[in-house]
Amino acid sequence: VAVTLRDVAAHVGVSPRTVSNVVNNFRYVSPATRILVQAAIDELDYRPNLLARSLRQGRTAVIGFLLPELDVPYFSELAHEMVEHAHTLGLTVLIDETTGSQEREVELLSVLARARQVDGIILSAIGLSGRRLAELRPTLPLVLLGERTTGSTVDHVTFDNVEAARQLVKHLIDQGRRRIAVIAAPASPGFATSNLRMRGCQSALWAAGVPYLPELTVRTPRWHRTEGYRAMAELLDRPNPPDAVVAFNDVLAIGALRLLHERGISVPQRIAVTGFDNIEDSRFSIPTLTTAGPEKADVARRALDVLVERIAGHTGPPRAVALPFSLQLRDSSLSSR
Amino acid sequence: VAVTLRDVAAHVGVSPRTVSNVVNNFRYVSPATRILVQAAIDELDYRPNLLARSLRQGRTAVIGFLLPELDVPYFSELAHEMVEHAHTLGLTVLIDETTGSQEREVELLSVLARARQVDGIILSAIGLSGRRLAELRPTLPLVLLGERTTGSTVDHVTFDNVEAARQLVKHLIDQGRRRIAVIAAPASPGFATSNLRMRGCQSALWAAGVPYLPELTVRTPRWHRTEGYRAMAELLDRPNPPDAVVAFNDVLAIGALRLLHERGISVPQRIAVTGFDNIEDSRFSIPTLTTAGPEKADVARRALDVLVERIAGHTGPPRAVALPFSLQLRDSSLSSR
DNA sequence: CTGTTAGCGCCTTCAC
DNA sequence: GTGAAGGCGCTAACAG
Q: Give me the amino acid identity at A206.
A: W
Count of CB atoms situated within 10 Å of the CB of A35: 12
pLDDT above 80 (res A27): no
For B179-201, the pLDDT digits (tens) are 999 999 877 665 588 889 999 99
Residues in chain B with CB shorter than 8 Å from the CB of A80 are 69-71, 97
Q: How far is the CA of A61 from the C1' of D11 (A)?
A: 16
Which of strand D's nucleotides are less than 7 A from any protein C-beta? Answer: 1-5, 7-13
Residues in chain A with CB shorter than 8 Å from the CB of B261 are 286
In angstroms, the CA A3 to CA A332 distance is 61
| Dihedral over Cα of B26, B28, B31, B37: its sign | negative
Q: Is A328 exposed, middle or buried (0-12, 13-18, 19+ CB in 10 A)?
A: middle
Q: How far is the CA of B22 from the C1' of C15 (A)?
A: 21
Q: Residue B7, CA: closest nucleotide via C1'?
A: C9
Q: How far is the CA of A15 from the C1' of C4 (A)?
A: 9
For A285-329, the pLDDT digits (tens) are 999 999 999 999 999 999 999 999 999 988 899 999 999 999 999
Mean pLDDT score of chain B, rounded to an integer?
91
For B282-309, the pLDDT digits (tens) are 999 999 999 999 999 999 999 999 999 9
- Residue A153 CB in 7 A reach of strand D: no
Compare A48 and A191 and report the one with higher pLDDT. A48
pLDDT above 80 (res A131): no
Q: Do A94 and B96 touch (CB under 8 A)?
A: no
For strands B326-328 and B291-293, give the pairing: antiparallel
Mean per-residue pLDDT, B31-41:
90
In angstroms, the CA A198 to CA A213 distance is 12
For A266-290, the pLDDT digits (tens) are 999 999 999 999 999 999 999 999 9
Q: Are A271 and A245 in contact (CB under 8 A)?
A: yes
Predicted pLDDT of residue A191: 58
DSSP state of A318: P
Q: Give me the amino acid identity at B260.
A: L
For residue B46, what is the nearest residue in chain A, using CA coordinates? A114
Q: Do A48 and B254 touch (CB under 8 A)?
A: no
Mean pLDDT score of chain A, rounded to an integer?
91
Residues in chain A with CB shorter than 8 Å from the CB of B7 are none
Q: Percent helix, strand and coil across chain A, each rounded to 5?
A: 45, 15, 40
Q: Residue A46, CA: closest nucleotide via C1'?
A: D9
Compare B123 and A26 and report the one with higher pLDDT. B123
Q: Do A139 and B1 touch (CB under 8 A)?
A: yes
Q: How far is the CA of B129 from the C1' of D9 (A)?
A: 34
Q: How far is CA B275 from CA A117, A261, B79, B289, in A?
A: 40, 21, 20, 7
For A191-206, the pLDDT digits (tens) are 588 889 999 999 999 9
Residues 6+ away with beta carbon under 8 Å from B254: A281, A284, B225, B228, B275, B281, B282, B285, B289
Helices (H) and strands (E) in chain B, counts: 12, 12
pLDDT above 70 (res A190): no
Q: Do B254 and A281 touch (CB under 8 A)?
A: yes
Predicted pLDDT of residue A287: 97
Q: How far is the CA of A219 from the C1' of C12 (A)?
A: 55
Q: Rounded to a whole number, what is the distance in Å from the CA of B212 to chain A's nearest CA?
A: 30
In angstroms, the CA A109 to CA A102 distance is 10
Q: Do B284 and A225 touch (CB under 8 A)?
A: yes
Q: Are B4 and B19 in contact (CB under 8 A)?
A: no
Alpha-carbon B94 to chain mean position? 14
DSSP state of A216: G
Residues 6+ away with beta carbon under 8 Å from A125: A98, A105, A133, A144, A145, A146, A147
Sorting pLDDT into bands at 50, 70 and 90, what band is B336? low
pLDDT above 80 (res B147): no
Q: How far is the CA of B125 from the C1' of C14 (A)?
A: 47
Predicted pLDDT of residue A132: 75
**pTM, two decimal places:** 0.94
For residue B78, what is the nearest residue in chain A, using CA coordinates? A71
Residues in chain B with CB shorter than 8 Å from the CB of A71 are 73, 76-77, 79-80, 280
Predicted pLDDT of residue A87: 93
- Select from A47, A60, A80 the Cβ nearest to the Cβ of B69: A80
Q: Residue B55, CA: closest nucleotide via C1'?
A: D8
Mean per-residue pLDDT, B3-27:
89
DSSP string, A71-107: TSHHHHHHHHHHHHHHHHTT-EEEEEE-TT-HHHHHH
pLDDT above 90 (res B130): no
Mean per-residue pLDDT, B70-99:
95
Predicted pLDDT of residue A161: 95
Q: Do B97 and A83 touch (CB under 8 A)?
A: yes
Q: Do A71 and B280 touch (CB under 8 A)?
A: yes
- Residue B32 CB in 7 A reach of strand D: yes
Q: Residue A16, CA: closest nucleotide via C1'?
A: C3
DSSP string, A103-128: HHHHHHHHHHHHHTS-SEEEEE-SS-
Q: Do B48 and A115 touch (CB under 8 A)?
A: yes
Q: Do B51 and A2 touch (CB under 8 A)?
A: no
- Residue B300 CB in 7 A reach of strand D: no
- Return the closest-CA partner of residue B63 out of A60, A2, A83, A94: A94
- Residue A246 CB in 7 A reach of strand D: no
| Dihedral over Cα of B262, B268, B273, B277: its sign | positive
Compare B100 and B79 and report the one with higher pLDDT. B79
Which of strand C's nucleotides are less than 7 A from any protein C-beta? Answer: 1-13
Q: How far is the CA of B139 from the C1' of C11 (A)?
A: 24
